[in-house]
Structure 1
Amino acid sequence: MNSTENVLVKIEHLRKKLTQIAMNKGFTDRESIALSQELDHLLNVYDNLKSDNGKKDEVK
């Protein structure tokens, strides 16, 4: 499994966890906000990985 796939797995896991917490505690609960920020970070990492892979494909 490459790094892009690893990040996608983490994103999906975190998305499910965030949904559960937000539905139980609310979207403004500290835990929901922390998970949302972590998810945002992972989505940015994924976007950067995809951008880097696209640039490599252009060079070939």
Structure 2
Amino acid sequence: MSKHEMLKIIEQKRAELIDIVLKTGLSSSLSIKYSQDLDRLLNNYNDYEPTKKNANCL
């Protein structure tokens, strides 16, 4: 997966999180789950090291 693809997924998850927060509140269990999912995606993005296969996609 390229960094560009990762960013698309991150932006989608961020939009979902905002929607859930507006519907259920900031401290709802669902909001917390979405926030943790987004944190994982961001950590994966920050730790991303392209392999030779992915290097051409950047």
**Range into which the TM-score falls when normalised by the shorter chain:** 0.7 to 0.9
Stretches of structure 2 lacking an aligned partner (at least 5 in a row): 51-58
Q: Which residue of 2 aligns with 1:57?
A: none
Percent identity of equivalent pairs: 36
TM-score, scaled to structure 2: 0.78
Report which of the two has the higher share of helix. 1
TM-score, scaled to structure 1: 0.75
- CA-based RMSD of the aligned residues comes to 1.2
Matched residue type, 2:6: V
Deviations 1:5-41 (A, max 9, x none): 1110010000001001101110111111000000000
Larger Rg: 1
Aligned residues: 50
Stretches of structure 1 lacking an aligned partner (at least 5 in a row): 54-60
Runs of 4+ in 1 over 2 A off after TM superposition: none
Q: CA deviation at 1:3?
A: 1.9
Distance 1:39 1:23 in 2: 16
